[in-house]
Amino acid sequence: MQATPYRDERLPRYTSYPTAPHFNAGVDAQTYADWLKALAPGTATSLYLHVPFCRSMCWYCGCHTTVALRDGPIVDYLAALRGEIALVAARLSGPLDVRHVHFGGGTPTILEPADFVALVALLRERFAIHPQAEIAVEIDPRRLGPAMTAALAAAGVNRASLGVQSFDPAVQKAINRVQSVEQTAAVVAGLRGAGIAAVSFDLIYGLPKQTVQSCLDTVEQCLAMRPDRFSIFGYAHVPEFKKHQRRIATADLPDGEERHAQALAMAESLAAAGYVRIGLDHFARPGDPMALALAQGRLRRNFQGYTTDPCEALIGFGASAIGRLPQGYVQNEVVIGRYAERVADGALPIAKGYRLTAEDRLRAELIERVMCDLSVDIDAVRAQHPVAPEVLEPALRKLDQLAREGVIDFDGSRVVLPENARLLVRKVASAFDAHLDQPPRQYSRAV
């Protein structure tokens, strides 16, 4: 298989299609208001809340976040967040059936415990949160104390996603994130003791000074804590967009071959430990809902990566948050001050979005199925969409080329990735992307 030429190619992660760089100002606050009003009461919905603050900056970070050394900006932001929730709720035709709530960042647990509990209470007041809803929070184990752990449990949080990245001291120093194994284990024990049993770990390969052995050591140390899921991402070095990444010396970064070796070694170690490999970069215990969704063909993609969430609508709150409604995507103002000003003026803080066409929906489904199942029957999917067959002719030619190179098996309709090509799934998905060659191209390495 001639996989090597594609490892360094920069490609979208395909958490949406089209991807966020192709959103435009043609979708505005009024468009979003109309889309919200059109949601039928009882529509299955997910909520995402973005908290864009951290106490210190990790130099590898690619998120929309800022350092807050005092609480004032966080308090002000929380007021804006509550205001946006009220603005959205006021534009709905009736209560939505919320099945998933996700707090991301930044560091969502930077909020005061009482404020976090009150925020979830507001969501319950404004939306019909299902009794069995998954309520998940991203956690920096360095910043979680007993009071916040108790607040998470009191608010109904039932899944915690912990950032680990690497336990190698040399790597931690190089990325400005020192976090001990003992500290992380104590947080896991505290969460489980509070009744938050579902725990996920995030790891990264391709970091400065990282080696295959240090990756394997980190996996082994994590396995001792028995997380339910792992997400293993490749570090995206884009210092032209994330200025703090300039603190990372390019000479300290592993090359493409080393990155590939790290990703494979971590995946093989988790598989040997009994975890089910899911798509490109997720792993779950066999009885975990994500593993079951994979087995049953129900796995999905959203802006957090792989998910069991089947909801028709995703409403994003907070600066830079992205939402997905049946008609298309919306994204809030990225700059915190501008976001807060818009909310204070009583306006939905939409900066841009994208209105989906029939062709977009076809391509999105093809990409999602490839990303989730590592296979897709093009004819079967195309039969469900009112799109002329010839629109996919360029994609079919690209797939033919990948088949000739031994990357995929392809019979003209059915695409199948062999196991040794799993890490190239983004390259295969990109065959269906009509926007790929259009600027801007702010993408990460394929592997």
Does the pLDDT of residue 282 top 80, yes or no?
A: yes
Domain boundary assignment for the chain: 16-317, 358-445
Tokens read off for 1: 């298989």
Distances in whole angstroms, Cα of residue 172 to Cα of each of 15, 97, 204, 446: 28, 41, 11, 24
What CATH number has the domain spanning 358-445?
A: 1.10.10.920
Does the pLDDT of residue 1 top 70, yes or no?
A: no
Pairing relation of β-strands 229-234 and 128-139? unpaired
Residue 6: per-residue pLDDT: 75
**Quick one: average pLDDT of 206-227?**
97
Least confident of 38-42, 99-103, 139-143, 443-447: 443-447
Residue 64: per-residue pLDDT: 84
**Quick one: average pLDDT of 205-214?**
97
Residue 439: per-residue pLDDT: 60
**Quick one: average pLDDT of 147-167?**
97
Does the pLDDT of residue 430 top 50, yes or no?
A: yes
**Quick one: average pLDDT of 382-407?**
96
Residue 445: per-residue pLDDT: 62
Among candidate residues 19, 30, 13, 18, the one with its CA nearest the CA of residue 349: 30
Distance CA 32, CA 87 (A): 11
Percent residues over pLDDT 90 in the chain? 85
Residue 25: per-residue pLDDT: 96
The band of 443, judged by pLDDT with boundaries at 50, 70 and 90, is: low
Fold of 16-317: pyruvate-formate lyase- activating enzyme (3.80.30)
Does the pLDDT of residue 284 top 70, yes or no?
A: yes
Q: Please answer whether residues 327 and 58 qualify as being in contact, where contact means their C-beta atoms are separated by less than 8 angstroms.
A: no
Residue 256: per-residue pLDDT: 87
Residue 322: per-residue pLDDT: 97
Q: Please answer whether residues 187 and 144 qualify as being in contact, where contact means their C-beta atoms are separated by less than 8 angstroms.
A: yes
Q: Which residue has the tokens 């979708």?
A: 27
Between 7 and 219, name the one with better pLDDT.
Answer: 219
Does the pLDDT of residue 4 top 80, yes or no?
A: no
Burial of residue 251 (number of CB atoms within 10 Å: 0-12, 13-18, 19+) = exposed
- Is residue 429 classed as helix, strand or coil in its secondary structure? helix
Mean pLDDT, rounded, of the chain: 94
DSSP category for residue 204: E
Give the tens place of pLDDT for each residue, 252-265: 999 989 999 999 99
Residue 63: per-residue pLDDT: 82
Does the pLDDT of residue 181 top 50, yes or no?
A: yes
Does the pLDDT of residue 343 top 50, yes or no?
A: yes
Percent residues over pLDDT 70 in the chain? 96
**Quick one: average pLDDT of 113-135?**
97
The band of 103, judged by pLDDT with boundaries at 50, 70 and 90, is: very high
Residue 442: per-residue pLDDT: 58
Distance CA 92, CA 102 (A): 20
The band of 304, judged by pLDDT with boundaries at 50, 70 and 90, is: confident
Does the pLDDT of residue 341 top 90, yes or no?
A: yes
